[in-house]
Every structure is written in structure tokens, then in C-alpha cells.
Chain A
Amino acid sequence: MRDRRVVRGTDRAQEFEAFVAGAAGRLLLAATLLTAEAPDANPRARRLLTLALGHTYARWHRLRGEDPYDCARQYLAVRFARTIWHRHRFPGRARPEPRGPLAGLNPQERLVLVLRMYEGVAEEQTAALLGLTAERVHTVCDRATSLVLHPVGAAGPRPVNAEVAPS
């Protein structure tokens, strides 16, 4: 029993190390985009990713064919969504000034944009993961896209591009 556990443990360690070596860079960039931190000063993103990878490690033998990358990404997204909600409830815990390419967006827009555009998750899956409707995801994603591409001052009415394109 103990032998088997040890063998499984070393298996897990090797596979997991290979997985982290391959996926950590991409996931850390995604996390840094989510938290809107500078690429070289991103403690929140690192913590988020450490939690997500730890969760994936613990589930390694129960993934049953599921992609570990999906598992880590899903945990990352859900965990980040929860921090948005907490910040709404406890407004006293202010975050540092957002930076990075997605600094002009609010957390939900960042989350949707990263999942849809950077990670390429389907609209329906994103909607199911975040508990939104697919139409809502579509709208938020379009708004976030135009905000990133035309970062005019956040205040004042912006000409929202007529982007209700037929899909």
C-alpha cells in the first residue's frame, strides 16, 4: 500500500513537473492579464497560479482523461471571479493601480476577454464557467475588445462601434 503510494507519488511528481514546465508560462501570462499587474511585479498572479497548480496537483490521479491544463485554467478563472465578488463585498481592500495591456478594463471584462480571446475558450463554455448567459459573454467580450483597441479616456461617451455583427 505504502509502496504503491510512493510509486504513484513519484509518477505524479514527474508528470506534474513536465506539465508545469510546459504550461506555467502561458498560465502565468493569463493570470497576469487577469490581475492587470506589471509582467515583472505580479504577486497576485503568482499566488493565483500557485493555488491553481496546487489544485491540479492534488487532482492529478482523478482527472480521468480531463486535460490538466483545462483543470488549472478553470480553477484560475473561478478563483479570480470569486475575488471580484469579494472585492465588491469588502471595498476597503483596495487593489493597486491596474497596469498592463488590460488596465482600462474592469475585472469581469478582463476575465471574459482572457478566456475568450487569449485562451480561446468557446462562448458557451465561458458562459457556463462564469454563470452568465452566452449573449452576455458575447456583449462583454465585444465591449472589452473595442476598449482594448481604442483606449480613449474611460470617461465620457464613447462611440461604441456598431459591432452587433451577425454571427
Chain B
Amino acid sequence: MNRAEREAAVRRVMGARPVPVPPELYPDAVRRGQRLLRRGRLVRRVLWALVCVAAVVFGVWAAYAHPWVEPPSRTTPPVDGW
């Protein structure tokens, strides 16, 4: 028995008995798929909301703290009395 014959024999053995497809398979699959889609949409929305909130918070903080202004030097002692 060569390789091709053996492979054909195995294919025959595996496909010998057809399996009846239950009618509830399709609605179950659709329900599951819709749930996955809903979950994905929800996750995307939450992430976008988080990004927006972070942007607003950063803007407000930057407007108050002015992080681009050089802070006053603390190493030079104040010069006075001359």
C-alpha cells in the first residue's frame, strides 16, 4: 500500500458517516457573533472615551501649570545689600 492509497483510505474512513447539522446551530452562531460584535463596540467606545478624558485633563493641567515655562533658578542665592 503506497502513500497515496493510504491517504485515500484514511479519507474514506473519516468521511464515512455524515453528521446531521442541528437546526439551532445557525441561530446560536449568529447570537454569539452579535454578542462578540457588541462587546467589541463597547470596548472601542470605552477606550475612545478614556482617550478623550485624558486629552482634556492634560489640556487643563497644561493651562494651569505652564510646563513650558522655565522654573525660577534655586541654585543662585538672592543678591541683596549692594
Contact = CB atoms under 8 A, between A and B. Distances in A.
Contact of A145 (B6, B21, B30, B33): B6
A101 B14 contact: yes
A165 B3 contact: yes
Interface string B31-66: 111111100100000000000000000000000000
B60 to A, nearest CB: 31
B29 A20 contact: yes
Nearest to B41: A5
Contacts of B28: 50, 54
A16 interface: yes
A56 B51 CA distance: 29
A113 B13 CA distance: 12
Contacts of A163: 3
Contacts of A33: 14
A29 B18 contact: yes
Of the four ranges (under 10, 10 to 19, 20 to 34, 35 or more), the interface on chain A belongs to 35 or more
A56 to B, nearest CB: 7
Contacts of A154: none
B13 A101 contact: yes
Interface of A is mostly: helix
A32 B25 contact: no
Contact of A39 (B20, B30, B40): B20
Given A117-B7, A149-B9, A28 B29 contact: no
Contacts of B36: 54-55, 57-58
B21 A28 contact: yes
A97 interface: no
A126 to B, nearest CB: 14
B16 interface: yes
A24 B9 contact: no
B29 A54 contact: yes
B33 to A, nearest CB: 3
A118 B11 CA distance: 6
20 contacts: A21-B26, A24-B26, A25-B18, A28-B25, A29-B18, A33-B14, A39-B20, A46-B22, A50-B32, A53-B25, A54-B29, A54-B31, A54-B36, A58-B34, A58-B36, A101-B17, A117-B7, A117-B10, A118-B11, A145-B7
